[in-house]
Structure 1
Amino acid sequence: MSKMGIAPIVVAIVDDDGAVRRALRRLVLSLSYQSVGYASGEEFLASLLDMVPSCVILDQHMPNLNGLDVLGRMRSEGLAMPVIIITGLDQPGMRAKCIKAGAAAYLVKPLESSVLSTVIEAAIAG
């Protein structure tokens, strides 16, 4: 907790690509948010027992559980924090599927910092 008693905003970054995770963490830190990175959907879902982030940036294309799988599990467990799905491979209909499943936004890599910051702020504001 900060001196004001306001919990810090923590953005979880879930991407199997370490370089993408590091770049996104730098970007999130530059926006004055805290960040925590996860290499897989399973690792992220397990972490939710200990810490619930303010917002999640979730890669769609990962081995085992993809972004939609992770989002589906979160929603089925009643976890309502905003999720931004990111992808390097935009497929027809995927944006609509992700939004219908409850994603706050769907962005295609490479991500522009100004776009991502706007989307994170909007997602956290509700």
Structure 2
Amino acid sequence: MHMNPIVSIIDDDESVRVATSSLVRSLGWGARLYASAEQFLASDEVDGVTCIISDVQMPGISGLEMYRRLLDSGVRLPVIFISAFASDLVRRQALEIGALCVLSKPVDAAEVSRHLETVKTGGADAAR
């Protein structure tokens, strides 16, 4: 049986988590939801994840810091950052550590779909 690829959605705003989850599920992906970077890092569920969609600014560990920790531990996953305050600095920092993109909230469903399709077809590196 073919399993849907999994997206981990990390955002401290429950309404954003639920909306993003609905979107990725409608695109044929599975979704795992986390209320914080700490919750995701502690979950031991990184295996099997195809892509991460994470807020940048959250209480505690930021999305960028979480992704740096994953990279430091040898985990290389495509990541789409979303932010209500996507400054040029945040965008530059995210792209420097390998993010696919930084999308502004509210996210554009077509844009998320386009990036996930790139990940699904194995073109994550081509999207950069």
Residue equivalent to 1:70: 66
Q: TM-score, normalised by structure 2?
A: 0.89
2 CA distance for matches of 1:50 and 1:86? Answer: 19
Residue equivalent to 1:53: 49
Report deviation, 1:114.
0.8
2 CA distance for matches of 1:84 and 1:11? Answer: 10
Q: Does 1:35 align with 2:31?
A: yes
Given the alignment, which residue of 13, 20, 23 partners 1:24? 20
Report deviation, 1:92.
2.7
Aligned residue for 1:36, secondary structure, equals strand
2 CA distance for matches of 1:7 and 1:27? Answer: 18
Amino acid at match of 1:37: L
Q: TM-score, normalised by structure 1?
A: 0.90
CA deviations on 1:46-72 (whole Å, 9 max, x unpaired) are 123564410000100100100111010
Tell whether the 8 Å contact from 2:27 to 2:113 is kept in structure 1 after alignment: yes
2 CA distance for matches of 1:47 and 1:56? Answer: 14
Aligned residue for 2:58, secondary structure, equals coil
Residue equivalent to 1:98: 94
1 CA distance for matches of 2:61 and 2:11? Answer: 11
Amino acid at match of 1:104: L
Tell whether the 8 Å contact from 1:71 to 1:102 is kept in structure 2 after alignment: no
1 CA distance for matches of 2:70 and 2:108? Answer: 26
Aligned residue for 1:54, secondary structure, equals strand
Aligned residue for 1:81, secondary structure, equals coil
List gaps (5 residues or longer) in structure 1: none
List gaps (5 residues or longer) in structure 2: none
Tell whether the 8 Å contact from 1:59 to 1:86 is kept in structure 2 after alignment: yes
Q: 1:28 to 1:49 in 2, by over 3 A?
A: closer
2 CA distance for matches of 1:116 and 1:28? Answer: 8
Amino acid at match of 1:34: G
Across the two proteins, how many residue pairs are aligned to each other?
Answer: 122
Aligned residue for 1:63, secondary structure, equals coil
Amino acid at match of 1:97: Q
Tell whether the 8 Å contact from 2:86 to 2:102 is kept in structure 1 after alignment: no
